[in-house]
Amino acid sequence: MTDPLLTLRPWTAPEVTSWGRLPMNAVDRRTGAHSLDGDWRFQLLSAPDAPVGGAWSTAAVPGVWTMQNTDDPLRSTVDLPQYLNIRMPYTEFPPLSPVDDNPTGVYEREIDVPADWTGRRIVLQVGAAESVLLVHVDGRPVGVSKDSHLAADFDLSDVVRPGGRHTLRLTVVKWSDASHIEDQDHWWHGGITRSVLLYTTDPLHLADVTVRASRDGELRVDCRVRDTGGALPEGWYVSGELDGLELTQDTGFDRANAEDERVSAFLGEARMQTRVPEVRAWTAETPELYGLTVRLHHADGGVADSSRHRVGFRDVEIVGRDLLVNGERIYIRGVNRHDFHPLTGRTVSYDDMRADLVLLKRFGFNAIRTAHYPNDPTLYDLADELGFYVVDEADIESHDHAHEIADDPRYLNAFVDRVSRMVLRDKNHPSVIIWSLGNESDYGANHDAAAGWVRRHDATRPLQYEGAAKRGWADPDLASDIACPMYAPLEDCVAHALSGEQTKPLIQCEYSHAMGNSNGTLADHWAAIEATPGLQGGFIWEFWDHGILQSVNDGRPVGRGGAGLYDNGVTAPGYRWAYGGDFGEKDHDGAFIADGVVFPDRTPKPVMFEHRELAAPVRLELFRHEGLVVANHQHFRGLQWLAGEWRLALADGRTLTAPAELPSLLPGETAVVPLPLALPEDGGEAWLTLRVTTAEDLAWAPRGTEVCAPQVLLRAAVPAEELPVPGTVEVDADGLLVHPLLTAGPVLSLWRAPTDNDELGGMALRWRTWGLDALVRKVVSVRRDGDAVTVLAEYAGTTGVVRHRQVFTPVEGGIRVDELAELPEEFDDVARVGTVFETVAGLDRLEWFGQGPWESYPDRSGGAPVGHHTLAVDELFTPYLRPQESGGRHGVRRFVLSGPDAPGLVVTPDEPRQVSVTRYRADDLAAAAHHDELVPRAGCVVHVDAAHRGLGTASCGPDTFPSYLVAPGVHRWSWTLRAL
Ligand code: IPT
């Protein structure tokens, strides 16, 4: 007999979104279910209609075959991950996909149905499969599902026998009409990505439960009830209990369709409501949850079905151009999050999801956009529990064919299906405050249809869609209640907010692209957001660097066994973080997949510390030099959960501390407190920091976890000139300083290993065109003037010459170097102007007075307090996946480079300067594609910059601001070098 599922070829028909699939609902059936996870028989076919042969291998469920090294005997090659952003991996037009080369995984296993399930409704749930799922039991077709990031439930009651053993086959087709609307910017995989399970219910069951809980304590629970047998039995009723408070069915509930008797016989609707006195409202700061149990009873009182929900009482509304939670205008400190893991690709465990959110909490994030599909259901449970605002996004991105699909009626059903299923699943989560129709799919009638469904079904939350907002930030007729652009220039956002035309809250759905060494101007964004009514924040792109752990030896993904092969962003020898192209993909988008605020092993990148400070719940300002203004910068809670300590860092090397008593402040309040420490008469420049930590163990942080460290300058540095003393300076025939601790330089440096922003923003190309990466140095003159030596040199690029002067003067204990560089007008945007030199081997420790301890750059230095810092040289370097400029420290006043067996050196710049100390020349970094190709040098490469270009975010979005560019013309700087 031919198989109708194969004959109908549902993978070619966008009109078919499912067949035999049960409606989505918010009753979570995972707890107590019978898990089918584990090793399944597996075959990889070359196409969905290729014959299933005899030889089976095994594959883990859940798991994508692209990450499991499954060498299927029927395929000559394995199917590996492929990274493409916008372009589809094949040329077929929607709704078509490749006919002969369409990897199809056949997963099979036996299921033993317990004998005591007799008379029960038996349901199969496949947590997620991409992109088309076909279900067979004992060879009989059971169902079809598309929508790769939501569960599909199938009623098996009629096809399995309690006490029997059956063969369950899940066929997963990789490419389909649906792939064209799942064209998100991440790796393409194939397989089953979330758990598979069986659950049973009484034939009389809860078909859905909708919970509405508002901040005044009003609770409403709407139940939909069905019976698989057909008509509902007489006398059923529902009951509920909220943390000991009994709810009962509201018998006066007037169903909308009550006059239609036929409907009421098959669909039961019931409502319970109550009011919770003195309710503890839910917010991301105060994630208060109540436990609700809903029960469905037979007439005799016996429980037919029940369902558990965690309820958060909160309101979301838009008033004017403000998004309000519980009446407060909140800030959205968001990040875009994919379901990603470096070993599994897509499958994320409870522990992994929790670790993601805990980390985000610790770094001040309060919001997540589930880019670009509904994330694993557990993520929303955790967001409710830990406290996050979620923009829940439907699984629709048709990037490559956006315009054709947005109005294609063949896809209409898919749009409405995907958006409605997300809403049906997630509507009870207090964390979900906004629905999103998807990402980058143009804007068409299919979106309006989906928006119409949402507005009818759930009027309690705003709706957003960037594709609609793009047509007009203020237009009320478009399917977006939020003006949610991506990568909009800050000045455009501010101008809109000041224009008088703004009608909707402006919250960027993506901004501050975190690719490589990036996120310049984040502090400027937040200064503008906090100063401009109408701007409420945004979502950084993105959480992860999606580097897949790869064995360099065989080029395969390592898979689940790879834990322990990486740490702190670095992989063990023989392994690397793979990005686009590393699996031999012909078409790929390279390192654009490595654009997160954390490394693939979840190590935070330096921008996280910047973000933490920008999100500081406590702010500090100097008050007339007599006291300090302490401000509670939160929306909903006091400071009781925080403890503090004062630290006074003095330029002379001392750090004084004192315990801090945080004032009792309501949200938004400030208090003036006296200066906690007497400022010593001597000691030079002085910085006072309030180190704020958690005062108690929290769900996301043990007591003592640092939350922020606001800082004020108490006394500025007094510039002191290093006076010449008699002595000698030696320079060689090339005019280079001869010094026992230096092996090269000091020479002029105008270049840095291009960051991803420099490359994709076009700066790196300009620098190469100007020849800045290979300047030719020529000595013009070496002149002695007393003990001082003046070296004039020219550095020739291809299009211009830079004149450079160094004056070496003996000073007490060392040498002062006064430098001047004159850049021609055409070099109007260089990476840096400064000095580079290399040291002898054996120096492995850097102590400095300046900003730190983490990496900072001129336009990303807000989160690095001034103080005395010490790190190993190797720890200074940030291992961005594609090697690039890294390891800089901003505002360095003095540094000591030393080692256990070598004499050290001390460098004191004339004013706070950008400094980097690494084991790599800029050329070394620029020549490597992966971190594992870098060979550290024995000595250190030291840069002291008079000026250093900001980082910006030009890999996707605005470049840095003009104030962070390096201007042409004359630059002057000095520094002294001393042996320790
Ligand atoms: C935009 C996408 O929404 C996101 O998925 C990702 O691609 C990001 O930006 C860049 O990494 S796409 C861009 C072309 C605007």
Looking at the CA of residue 372, tell me the nearest atom of ligand 1: 5
Same domain, 302 and 396: no
Same domain, 181 and 60: yes
Same domain, 227 and 129: no
Query: How many A from CA of 4 to the centre of ligand 1?
Result: 39
- Chain centre to alpha carbon of residue 286: 22
Closest residue by Cα to atom 2, ligand 1, is 185
Write out 795-814 in H/E/C secondary structure. EECCCCEEEEEEEEEEECCE
Q: Does the beta carbon of 85 lie inside 6 Å of ligand 1?
A: yes
Going by the DSSP 8-state scheme, the letter that residue 698 receives in this structure is B
Looking at the CA of residue 487, tell me the nearest atom of ligand 1: 15
Q: Does the beta carbon of 639 lie inside 6 Å of ligand 1?
A: no
Using alpha carbons, select from 688, 690, 684, 681 the residue that is nearest to residue 713: 688
Q: Does the beta carbon of 956 lie inside 6 Å of ligand 1?
A: yes
Same domain, 670 and 759: no
Using CA atoms of 672, 677, 683, 686 in order, give the dihedral in degrees to the nearest 10.
Answer: -30
> Going by C-beta distance under 8 Å and a sequence separation of 6 or more, which residues neighbour residue 198?
33, 34, 36, 111, 113, 122, 123, 124, 125, 156
Give dist(CA 950, CA 973) in Å, integer: 19
Task: Specify the pLDDT at position 500.
Answer: 97
> Going by C-beta distance under 8 Å and a sequence separation of 6 or more, which residues neighbour residue 830?
750, 751, 767, 770, 772, 823, 949, 966
> Going by C-beta distance under 8 Å and a sequence separation of 6 or more, which residues neighbour residue 423?
435, 453, 454, 457, 458
Closest residue by Cα to atom 4, ligand 1, is 185
Task: Specify the pLDDT at position 256.
Answer: 44
Same domain, 623 and 605: no
Query: How many A from CA of 404 to the centre of ligand 1?
Result: 19
278: domain CATH number is 2.60.40.10
Q: Does the beta carbon of 426 lie inside 6 Å of ligand 1?
A: no
Give dist(CA 773, CA 764) in Å, integer: 9
Same domain, 303 and 196: no
Radius of gyration of the chain measured on its C-alpha atoms: 31
Using alpha carbons, select from 154, 182, 149 the residue that is nearest to residue 425: 149
The answer to whether residue 729 sits within a structural domain is no
Query: How many A from CA of 780 to the centre of ligand 1?
Result: 50
Chunked into runs of 10 residues, the chain (980 residues) has average pLDDT values of 86 97 98 96 93 88 88 62 97 96 96 97 98 97 98 98 98 98 97 98 98 97 93 94 92 56 74 95 98 97 98 98 98 98 97 98 98 97 98 98 97 98 98 98 98 97 98 95 98 98 98 98 98 98 98 92 94 97 94 98 98 98 90 98 98 96 97 94 95 98 98 93 93 95 96 98 98 96 96 96 98 97 97 98 97 98 96 97 98 97 92 98 98 96 98 98 97 96
Query: How many A from CA of 631 to the centre of ligand 1?
Result: 36
Going by the DSSP 8-state scheme, the letter that residue 768 receives in this structure is H
Counting the structural domains of the chain, the total is 5
Closest residue by Cα to atom 6, ligand 1, is 185
500: domain CATH number is 3.20.20.80
Same domain, 306 and 321: no
Closest residue by Cα to atom 10, ligand 1, is 956
Looking at the CA of residue 85, tell me the nearest atom of ligand 1: 7
278 noted as active-site residue: no
Closest residue by Cα to atom 5, ligand 1, is 185
Using alpha carbons, select from 336, 364, 356 the residue that is nearest to residue 542: 336
The parent domain of residue 269 ranges over 215-311
Same domain, 124 and 268: no
440 noted as active-site residue: yes
- Chain centre to alpha carbon of residue 416: 27
Q: Which of 699, 715, 731 is the last residue of a domain?
A: 715
Same domain, 377 and 439: yes
Task: Specify the pLDDT at position 612.
Answer: 98
Same domain, 470 and 426: yes
Same domain, 500 and 535: yes
Q: Does the beta carbon of 185 lie inside 6 Å of ligand 1?
A: yes
Length of the chain: 980
The answer to whether residue 585 sits within a structural domain is no
End-to-end CA separation in angstroms for the chain: 87
Query: How many A from CA of 185 to the centre of ligand 1?
Result: 7
Q: Does the beta carbon of 511 lie inside 6 Å of ligand 1?
A: no
Provide the token pair at 547. 């580097």
Provide the token pair at 175. 């490419």
Reported as type and span, the H/E element at residue 897 is strand 894-898
Going by the DSSP 8-state scheme, the letter that residue 163 receives in this structure is T
Provide the token pair at 331. 């800030």
Using alpha carbons, select from 562, 956, 609, 918 the residue that is nearest to residue 761: 956
Q: Does the beta carbon of 440 lie inside 6 Å of ligand 1?
A: yes
Same domain, 856 and 817: yes
Query: How many A from CA of 88 to the centre of ligand 1?
Result: 14
Looking at the CA of residue 957, tell me the nearest atom of ligand 1: 15
Q: Is residue 57 a contact partner of residue 71, using CB atoms and an 8 Å limit? A: yes
Q: Residue 506's beta-bridge partner residues?
A: 483, 535
Give dist(CA 792, CA 358) in Å, integer: 55
Give dist(CA 25, CA 28) in Å, integer: 8
